[in-house]
Amino acid sequence: MSTLINGLITGALFGFLLQKGRAVRYDKQVGALRLKDMTIVKFFFSAILTGMVGVTVLHKLGISPPLILPTNIGANIIGGLIFGLGWAITGYCPGTSLGALGEGRTDALWGIMGMLVGAALFAELFPVINETILTWGKEGSITLPQLFGINDWLVISIFVAGGLVLFYWLEKKGL
């Protein structure tokens, strides 16, 4: 039960911050994809870089065990690109669609219903996909430090440096 309450509180904080960052609405999502307004990129990468440092510390201290989504190169690339097509049309992703609905954007409800249909459709086709696309380039749960054989903190330093350069460039361009 406490896990469920924890989930609700975590989500409420996330939704509150997404909305405060004005990151949930269509104009911001598609604005980023059209390279006109990078609000969501700033939000997303600020969250990732901050989370990366803290979560790695927690892993090192053994407080929270890692849970690494496996690399399936074929499915990762094909699925990622298909997602991009749908995202460009709907203008919400699964998490932000709920946030957009929360701030009164009723078109998000249509998006959410479509997403439920998409999930059901995938479940129907899963037996076939599991035998085909999901077998292409199965690499297991690997991390970037393992792949390149370098220290975690070096990888994080590269991400943070890259992120700061990106942020500096976006501000300079006024995006």
Q: Contacts with another protein in 37-96 (CB under 8 A)? A: 39-40, 42-52, 54-56, 58-59, 63-73, 75-96
Identify the H or E element spanning 49.
helix 39-61
Q: Which is nearest to 147 in space by CA: 80, 61, 51, 71? A: 71
140 close to 76: Cβ distance less than 8 angstroms: no
34 in contact with another protein (CB under 8 A): yes
User: Binding-site residue total for another protein (CB under 8 A)?
Assistant: 124
Which of 16, 136, 168, 169 contacts another protein by CB under 8 A?
16
19 in contact with another protein (CB under 8 A): yes
Compare residues 113 and 161 and give the one whose CB is closer to another protein: 113
Where residue 122 falls (left for φ over 0; alpha for ψ -120 to 50; beta otherwise) is alpha
Burial tier of 2 (Cβ tally within 10 Å: 0-12, 13-18, 19+)? exposed
Per-position x/- string for 147-166, each x denoting binding to another protein as judged by CB under 8 A, each - no binding: x----x--xx----------
Q: Round to whole Å and give the CA distance between 94 and 150.
A: 34
Which of 60, 135, 136, 142 contacts another protein by CB under 8 A?
142
168 in contact with another protein (CB under 8 A): no
Min separation Cβ 174 and another protein, Å: 14
Query: Which positions from 109 through 138 interact with another protein, judged by CB under 8 A?
Result: 110-124, 126-127, 129-130, 133
Alpha-carbon dihedral sign for residues 158, 65, 47, 141:
positive
